[in-house]
Amino acid sequence: MIRVRALRKHYTVHERAPGIAAAVRALFVREKKTVAAVDGIDFDIAPGERVGFLGPNGAGKTTTLKVLSGLLHPTSGEVSVDGFEPKRRQDAFLKRIMLVLGQKQQLLWDLPPSETFELNRAVYDVPRPQYDETLRELTALLELGDLVRKPTRTLSLGERMKCELAAALIHRPNVLFLDEPTIGLDVSMQATVRDFVKRYNERNAATLILTSHYMEDVAYLCPRVIVIDKGRLVHDGSLEDLVTRTRPDKRIVLRFSKPVDAQDLAALVQRGKVVSHDAGHSVLQVHKDAVNAVVGRALSTLPVSDLTVENPPLEEVMSELFARHRGGANGGGANGGGADGGPRDGAGA
């Protein structure tokens, strides 16, 4: 379905130092710098797959999505989406894909969303019966109700995003590129959007690539994640695998029936640490291999009323992964990328 080989997208940007002298000098000599937004990535995505595209700000995620959707011409490399070369922007290709950019909108600002839907029906050449059916379905799934008849400018951010999704799906694309679709939305709206996207994927066997800084979106929607940093691929595999390799720790959450001394806890976790502790509640972090032993000791020596074992929060895992990668990059050469697509995140914590 999607095949990417040695994809590079480099930008030339002009730079100048602050100050009048630099401004005058820049009139005659402009300093240029090449920025490697995407620097040689490879991956394949199968039909119907849901893939999370992760990375810190400026990693190259959105650039990659824009190349895949034909908005940007790659500097070099090979890209194929559903058999099409995206940069050619053929009608048949554009009718198969959709791209939602969380910070950009296609809805006509001063007109109701229903007018954008109608416009998309015409430009995507959707037969009227199919349009009516799709709209009915989208209205029900996204609970659009009367929203579609109010001017877009009067809608809240969450309402706009729901209408944005509906507008982008009127032509029933089978490849969805979603770039931060839940940005700025409240928790309940995030859940609505997530749930809707998953149902659309399941009903239509649509392929999905999602970027999001909300790890809950990724955990809920994407069995597979691709992590890029500084334009290079640093992980391609399951989320579980990423977590295990980055942070081979588990969190043991304990609740006590009576107060427990901090020293007793410290003795319990010789190879880990106490993340937090108060009289009735503690969180321990230990290597996954030590979990059974620590749990056994805790149950036998402490007044435990409740105990759960969890993975560390995804946000922490990602933060640690990026920090480690950046640290490695700083000491490892000008480009700072991973080892040409090879994962660097698995080495000891």
Partner 1 sequence: MSLRNTVRALPTLLRIGFLEAVAYRAEMFVWVLSTTMPLVMLALWSAVARDAPIAGYGRGQFTAYFLSTFVVRQLTGCWVFWEMNFEVKNGTLAMRLLRPVEPIWSYAAEGLAAMPMRILVSMPVAGIALAVTGARHLSHDPFVWLVWVAAIFGAWALTLLINVIVGCAAFFLESSLKVMDLWLVLFFVFSGYLIPIDLFPARMRALANVLPFRYQIGFPVELMTGAHPLAGALHLLARQWMWNAFALVVAVLMWRSGLKRFAAYGG
State the Cα–Cα distance between residues 161 and 113, nearest whole angstrom.
11
Of 102 and 336, which has the nearer Cβ to partner 1? 102
- Output the smallest distance, CB 201 to partner 1, in A: 20
Which parts of the chain are beta strand (E)? 2-15, 31-45, 50-54, 76-81, 97-101, 175-179, 207-211, 224-229, 232-238, 249-256, 273-278, 281-287, 304-310
Of the candidates 40, 44, 14, which has an alpha carbon nearest to the alpha carbon of residue 29? 14
Residues 98-157 that bind partner 1 (CB under 8 A): 98-99, 101-106, 108, 110-111, 115, 118-125
Task: Give the binding range for partner 1 (CB under 8 A) out of 18-26, 38-46, 95-103, 241-249.
Answer: 95-103
Of 29 and 122, which has the nearer Cβ to partner 1? 122
State the Cα–Cα distance between residues 222 and 237, nearest whole angstrom.
10
Task: Give the binding range for partner 1 (CB under 8 A) out of 71-79, 242-250, 265-273, 322-330.
Answer: 71-79
State the sign of the Cα–Cα–Cα–Cα dihedral 131, 136, 137, 140: positive
- Output the smallest distance, CB 102 to partner 1, in A: 7
> Count of residues binding partner 1 (CB under 8 A)?
35
State the Cα–Cα distance between residues 128 and 118, nearest whole angstrom.
10
- Output the smallest distance, CB 151 to partner 1, in A: 8
State the Cα–Cα distance between residues 89 and 146, nearest whole angstrom.
34
- Output the smallest distance, CB 106 to partner 1, in A: 4
- Output the smallest distance, CB 72 to partner 1, in A: 6
Cβ pair 67, 79 in contact under 8 A: yes
Residues 176-205 that bind partner 1 (CB under 8 A): 179-180
Of the candidates 296, 293, 291, which has an alpha carbon nearest to the alpha carbon of residue 310? 291
Contact positions toward partner 1, by CB under 8 A?
11, 62, 66, 69-73, 89, 91, 94-95, 97-99, 101-106, 108, 110-111, 115, 118-125, 179-180
